[in-house]
Structure 1
Amino acid sequence: MTPLSPPAAGPRRGRPAASDAAPGGPADDAGLRRRIRGLDLESKVRLLTGATLWALPDEPRLGLRPVVMSDGPQGVRGTGEDPDARGLLAPAPSAVAATWDPETAERLGRLFAVEARRKGVDVVLAPPVNLQRTPVAGRHFEYFSEDPLLTGVLAAAVVRGLQGRGVAACPKHFVANDSETDRTRYRSRMDERTLREVCLAPFEQVLAEAGPWSVMAAYSGVDDGVESAPMTEHRRLVRGVLKEEWGFTGPVVSDWAATRSTAASALGGLDLVMPGPDGPWGAALTAAVRAGEVPEELVDDKVLRLLRLARNTGRLGDPWEPGTPPPPLPTRGPAPSEAPSEEEFAVLREIAARGTVLLRDEAGLLPIAPDGLDGDAGVALIGPNAVDPYLQGGGSAYVPAVRTVSFVEGLRAALPERVRLTVHRGGDSRRRPPFVPAALLTDPDGGGPGVRADHLDAAGRTLDTDVRATGDWGGYGDFPADTHRVVLRTVLTLDEPGTHHLEFGCVGRFRVTVDGETVFHGDDDRGVDLILDSSHHHPRTHGVDLPVDGSGPRRVEVTVDLTVVDADGYGRFVTAHLRLRPPGPSPEEEIAEAVDAARRADVAVVVVGTNEEVESEGWDRTGLELPAPQDELVRRVVAANPRTVVVVNAGAPVLLPWAQEVPALLWAWLPGQEAGHALADLLLGRAEPAGRLPWTLPARAEDVPVPNAVLVDGTVAYSEGVHIGHRAWDRDGLTPAFPFGHGLGWTTWAYESADAAPAGPDGSDGFRVTVELANTGPREGRETVQVYLEAPPDGPERPPRTLAGFTTVRVAAGARARAHVDVPARVFGVRDPDRGRRWTPPGRYRLRVGRSSRDLRLSVDVEIAGTEDG
């Protein structure tokens, strides 16, 4: 192996270095380099692997304090040191994207920064800059959009909000980590144009416009026809493009446990291995340097990047001698309040409402006038998600919320007291039963309530015991260090006559017995991979039916014998879920009860959607249907009451076969902690649902351009090329249920004229499109003006239309406004893979202006002289 020299410290092609926006940019690196020269090789290498799950090491001789990281992007999780810690739970990124408003995204970034400082966090692992390539992607809710430009604009805004208050952003997952199936191993195969114009484009925009202080490398890899490697080892993309071509000067952080090599990852451009303290670097990297496989100068460059991050986040002070008191660190402004405030809750409430999309209101039912409601008939709130809303997606984005406002609570608080509110589930949409209620569990030894856990060493000796009053033993690790097995024992008492369904979910090596008979076992010896594929959150399950004849209570002895899973930096744990579905009404009976309530109500509000079994990190969906029996529930309620509002509580697209049959239809996303208040504000007209779809909602599964995330020989082929999302729908001439950019609101709009003026000589800096529009409806409203580019037909193959720019305006009823949309020069360009550069073909381009990708009302032509951008 030929050692590579360190990447150039400065940017190329005149681009400002990505970290120059921070105080003390690369121009002030001389002092940092002097500090680094005082360390021996082992000390430098030690700094490049996490000290814990979330924190990097300190080094007194450099003045370096531990830099602490935490997951995002729906809030700031914290580090888990305080198990009772709670925090702000924001709307999911797809909901933020639906605002189409960078000012709102930046405002949320500032809020995250306050929360991060409250929790002692220096780096928030956000925003996600991957694309919604397929609607079945497990983390679809966690990404902004199917469109590279919309993603880049909003992600850059979040970065500015965070870093403007001294907290580092860590955009992720670089690059093309757009699905979850076998996510730690697959390679994304694509041509150069797709790589540059689709997958890399939003990352490039974020670096150019916001200068993030760190970037995360993905688990997966890329095969770009030149190099095929995991992203933690990809020299061409990490060192070549990200660092050298784009001039990124911060550290590249591995996704957690993504690094599987020593020299290859060090040479590939990775700078920090997380989590720690173990990993493939440490002594192995030191040995690789001494063997001449990795230049020590490359190690110095990695430490320098870490010190820049520490300096920017206020974690670098004056050097001091180990064992002596450290000097105070530079201040980062006033300390935040100890707990989130009502003002912060109000911001989250506003964002949740702003991002909600009014897809349809044919009957003019919305907004509902509270004074006009029949108080006795009232409102019937119906649906599985009305009873149990899905507020956030599963996986690393999960945030324990400081509070949550359910749809029931929000609507009851907003409605006049005289208006009756009834709540009806209308059937269970979850496959899995709820956890066994604590009241049914008895400790077999102590006789009190709960499940007893015996902690055994490898010889079977009991080290300790624990008793907890719950059937949820997910990620349990509160046991002595020498524990080899955890044996759960309880007695389940069932009183209600009928058949009870008891279900177990376990991971790793385990054995489950019921009344002494083995009913379930497993022998999975994986360690950290159980964490990476989210098996510990949603383990494989097995159920048994337990009939109760009514002659008296039935006592069932349950034992779950679990071998401890050693997941490296994630710790040692066991997982067991004990769930119970008691006898109860059938789905048909629940639907019939809900339909009867709707028939008697003045207004019915039906909330349908997904749940934690459907949308989560760790796996991709197998289809786009709503979990049963929700489609039947909607149709029957609408048939019973023509004054029905349907609300979709989901982060990613689902099929709505009844969409054109319902009077009013809202898409409310995964709305975060203020869900109930936000929905009530919208239904009663206190706020406008001003959101626009950041992706295309299909009408039929067979129309979806990329319908699945299936791997072939470990590879995901990006065969659609540059035709991602709405571009493919336009290319194929297909009609979606609702197009990209669609959304209504409380008013109507007239687009009167548009013109375009060059922002530089001959449009070399792009164009400014000026749009005259009028609010022709009865209420003040917010409009999102969208501009799409149509290229000359005689140039290289391109999508029929691409999003070129957008802005939002707020206009009083009956008033006119002038909207300015900046169309950057880069949207006219394409990548020439033969010449390895971007260029703009000459010709007449058409800029189409309108309300969505399919509602284009004005156009203006511009002439472009051909250019080569380099």
Structure 2
Amino acid sequence: MTDIDHLLDRLTLDEKVSLLAGQDFWSLPAIPHIGLRSLVMSDGPVGVRGTGWAPDDPSIALPSPTALAASWDPALAAEAGRLLGQEARHKGVHVVLGPTVNLHRTPRGGRHFECYSEDPLLTGEIAAGFVRGVQEHGVGTTVKHLVGNDFETDRMTVDVRIPERALRELYLAPFERVVEAGGWGVMSAYNSVNGTSMAQNGRLQDEILKREWGFDGVVVSDWRAARDTVGAALGGLDIAMPAMDNPWGPRLAEAVRSGSVPIEVIDDKVRRVLRLAARVGALGDAPVPVVAPLDGDEVAHRVASRSFVLARNDGTLPLAGTDPVVAVIGALAQDARVLGGGSAQVAPPHVISPLDGIRAAFDRVEYAIGADPRPFLPAAQGPGWSEFRIDLGAYRFEVPTGAVRWLGDPPGGLAVNDISLLELSTTYTPATTGDHVFAISGFGAFELTVGDQKLYQGSLHPPGTGRADLLLHPREQRFTVTLPAGVPVAVTLRQSFEPGTAHSAGTTLGHRPPGPDESGMIAEAVALAARSDVAVVVVGTTEQVESEGFDRTSLALPGRQDELVARVAAANPRTVVVVNAGSPVLLPWAEDVAAVLLTWFPGQEAGAALAAVLTGAEEPGGRLPTTWPRRAEDCPVLAVEPRDGALAYSEGIFIGYRGWTERPLYAFGSGLGYTSWSYDALSASATEAVVTLTNTGERAGREVVQIYLSALEDDEIERPERWLAGFASVEAVPGETVTVRIPLPERAFQIWDGGWKTPPGRYALTAAHAIDDPRRTVEIG
């Protein structure tokens, strides 16, 4: 056991404060004379980037957090965590920045896909499982963002005003559950809460998190969220990241020497950092835990198929025992959206698109784009293209498409100052004579040459554009070139960097071959659907619609995708729609199609998992972790626009299903499998519900048993009509009867009223397939 106080006594004040601030973008400094090595952090909601998001060092891409929550399976979340802990060890990372447990207060939230659910209990249980899994490897987690970062608009400065009861019962509850599960880190949000910036919010970070909950880990700022030296030091923050614009370092040491910050406050922070270092094996000779290795593809596939929510099915699915002609339609069927934008992005080793997966599963498959919602041209790739070679001067490598990205450490171990030019070169042999459209997207100064034609030289952004805007809002420039079929043409894209700016790159060479216009593409897809046995239409959002950095302005699918689905369904009644979106979108045609399958952002094994579910090799195992609206205006909370710098959570505890008064399109907890279940018996006490159920269908399957509570006695306490109190899953073969015991935590009955209190009286306890599909109810006292 490391004697942390003994090590603390050996440190000078300057050494102590050096441990509380980033030495660069991702790490804390080493202090060799006490055996402390540098602590390395990395983004990691769906994969672990490492210190550089580089294409020559790929990262496993799991399905989005909304998908993981849709599994309603904390054990599967732990498996996902174990895989990312394994990845972190492989990449030399000690601390993963995740999971994200901010709630789905509004479906317009830009990072909705990176969070779990609208319900704090489901969020907390999935997060606790994930945290336990990661930390089995001796890798730390930092649950984020404490607290109120449930939207992106003005997130750096907005004051989120949360009533105390809602703060305790909803928004803090998942963080409290992760602390109870043994999480080692918490990330502080950018925003203020009730008038105080979270980076210096002593009431939430010190009084509640550390003292009331007994949290013994570290509180790390979101990147550049700490802005005040003394305020952050006294407000419970332990680590300010990154090195740039950091308010600590020498200024914090001077604040201690002047008496503005007590040395005891610094010592508590350093103890926490050293404790974390000991836990992750970065201090002394602490052994690294040995955990059985996992197959990343297998885990990614299993999470995906377990997360898919079959929201509607007229019997068309599964497509088992047939040899249909399958029409696959949609730009996103070929160019899969497998993860969300921003901190959740990684560069996966491969991606199986829906089209690839379906082609591997069925013998007769035809494809049409139909409607293309992408505002930017897709990265050049596929038939006709040679390898894409990247030359950084001192380092060369290849990428699978005409896109190259990194964030942090550049590829090949190069230093930022080593890179002044990126050159992407390839050869394209057109299959069709005509007008080919090429595009550059990204940030910086570019030069594009196709054959002997220099198509562009200049910058895509106006002077003075901020770095955050560059990363989150790239620009695109398009050019049309007439090319003959069968004649190879050299294509070269160069990007130049100002000195010291190559710590990030996001460059794409886009391409579109000759073809019909938008109306012509839809007509082609409709004709294909009409002559096929079944049509699988893949629709979804784009990175410009759903990403970190901004909130959604509309819940509608972008482009002409709704029109595409409606026309295909009119041409073929056996139309299956796959919705590739990380959060709810409007589906005006939902009741006019044969099946609706919600696949979230499904990770690198997307197409393989989709094919397995379509064929019936696997059951769609997901249940909705958040309500899907029929109309945007039906949502109990929609607006994300602050007024005068503040956003009031005036709805109190009535978010998500707690606040719905209209019938939604798909209710919380809903989802169909490929079998049916009878709920045979229910008994309950104040501590446990016991449910007996039988698989009454013809296939083996899995059921998520959900327990809801309702207060039966009329009192003056406002409570939802019903709320989730517990859940568990069961599996059974046809005709098999199983019994499951579901613990009921005391907190499920309690409200916050200056403290946790259990209102006396009687409650209805319901075992349900979904919140709108109750099966059995009993009363308990």
TM, length-normalised to structure 2: 0.90
Contact 2:446 2:458 in 1 (8 A): no
Change (3 A) 1:189 1:671: same
Cα drift, residue 474 of structure 1: 5.7
Change (3 A) 1:520 1:537: closer
Contact 1:509 1:525 in 2 (8 A): no
Distance (Å, rounded) in 2 between the aligned partners of 1:353 and 1:490: 38
1:232 partner SS: helix
Alignment match of 2:326 (pick from 379, 386, 411): 379
1:198 partner SS: helix
1:411 aligns with 2:383: no
Q: Greater Rg, structure 1 or structure 2?
A: 1
Aligned pairs for 1:280-319 within 5 A = 280-317=247-284
Counterpart in 1 of 2:778? 860
Distance (Å, rounded) in 1 between the aligned partners of 2:571 and 2:274: 65
2:738 partner SS: strand
1:787 partner SS: strand
Cα drift, residue 344 of structure 1: 3.5
Counterpart in 2 of 1:237? 204
Aligned partner of 1:279: which letter? Answer: N
Counterpart in 2 of 1:846? 764
Cα drift, residue 564 of structure 1: 3.5
Distance (Å, rounded) in 2 between the aligned partners of 1:626 and 1:801: 31
Aligned partner of 1:352: which letter? Answer: A
Change (3 A) 1:545 1:413: closer
1:626 aligns with 2:561: no
Contact 2:64 2:603 in 1 (8 A): yes
Number of equivalences = 770
2:273 partner SS: helix
Cα drift, residue 254 of structure 1: 1.1
Counterpart in 2 of 1:693? 624
Aligned partner of 1:850: which letter? Answer: A
Contact 1:133 1:178 in 2 (8 A): yes
Cα drift, residue 622 of structure 1: 1.0
Counterpart in 2 of 1:771? 691
Distance (Å, rounded) in 2 between the aligned partners of 1:689 and 1:69: 35
Alignment match of 1:735 (pick from 656, 660, 663): 663
Alignment match of 2:124 (pick from 149, 152, 160): 152
Counterpart in 2 of 1:322? none
Change (3 A) 1:820 1:88: same
Cα drift, residue 71 of structure 1: 1.1
Cα drift, residue 157 of structure 1: 0.9
Deviations along 1:711-741, one digit per CA (max 9) or x if unpaired, are 2222222121101111111xx2x01111000
Counterpart in 2 of 1:420? 364
Cα drift, residue 855 of structure 1: 1.0
Counterpart in 1 of 2:191? 220
Alignment match of 1:41 (pick from 5, 9, 13): 13
Deviations along 1:754-793, one digit per CA (max 9) or x if unpaired, are 22123xxxxxxxx211122222211121111111111233
Counterpart in 1 of 2:612? 681
Cα drift, residue 819 of structure 1: 2.2
1:693 partner SS: coil
Counterpart in 2 of 1:402? 349
Change (3 A) 1:424 1:36: same
Contact 1:757 1:768 in 2 (8 A): yes
Distance (Å, rounded) in 2 between the aligned partners of 1:689 and 1:176: 33
Aligned partner of 1:827: which letter? Answer: A
Q: Which runs of 5+ in 2 are unaligned?
A: none
Deviating beyond 4 angstroms after TM superposition, the runs of 4 or more aligned structure 1 residues are 435-441, 449-453, 464-521, 543-550, 555-563, 571-583
Aligned pairs for 1:163-562 within 5 A = 163-208=135-180, 210-223=181-194, 228-276=195-243, 279-317=246-284, 329-334=285-290, 343-362=295-314, 364-370=315-321, 372-374=322-324, 378-415=325-362, 419-435=363-379, 505=441, 507=443, 522-524=462-464, 526=466, 530-531=467-468, 535-541=470-476, 543=477, 546=480
Alignment match of 2:570 (pick from 639, 643, 651): 639
Distance (Å, rounded) in 1 between the aligned partners of 2:33 and 2:738: 59
Aligned partner of 1:845: which letter? Answer: Y
The range that moved more, 379-388 or 467-476, is 467-476
Counterpart in 1 of 2:102? 130
Change (3 A) 1:241 1:109: same
Cα drift, residue 106 of structure 1: 1.3
Distance (Å, rounded) in 1 between the aligned partners of 2:350 and 2:465: 38
Aligned partner of 1:147: which letter? Answer: D
1:856 partner SS: strand
Deviations along 1:368-387, one digit per CA (max 9) or x if unpaired, are 124x224xxx2222212211
Change (3 A) 1:722 1:408: same
Aligned partner of 2:748: which letter? Answer: V
1:698 partner SS: coil
Aligned partner of 2:774: which letter? Answer: L
Change (3 A) 1:756 1:517: closer
Distance (Å, rounded) in 2 between the aligned partners of 1:484 and 1:396: 24
Cα drift, residue 197 of structure 1: 1.0
Alignment match of 2:51 (pick from 74, 79, 88): 79
Change (3 A) 1:694 1:82: closer
Aligned pairs for 1:41-80 within 5 A = 41-80=13-52
2:146 partner SS: coil
Change (3 A) 1:565 1:245: farther
Deviations along 1:596-641, one digit per CA (max 9) or x if unpaired, are 2222222222221123222211111111111222112212222222
Counterpart in 2 of 1:800? 721
Cα drift, residue 691 of structure 1: 0.9
Distance (Å, rounded) in 2 between the aligned partners of 1:521 and 1:661: 44
Aligned partner of 1:354: which letter? Answer: R
Change (3 A) 1:845 1:516: closer
Contact 1:474 1:536 in 2 (8 A): no
Cα drift, residue 87 of structure 1: 2.7
Distance (Å, rounded) in 1 between the aligned partners of 2:58 and 2:448: 34
Counterpart in 1 of 2:89? 117
Change (3 A) 1:657 1:113: same
Change (3 A) 1:309 1:607: same
Contact 2:555 2:585 in 1 (8 A): yes
Contact 1:251 1:302 in 2 (8 A): yes
- The alignment's C-alpha RMSD in Å is 3.6
1:173 partner SS: strand
Deviations along 1:814-850, one digit per CA (max 9) or x if unpaired, are 2222222222111211111xxx212122111211221
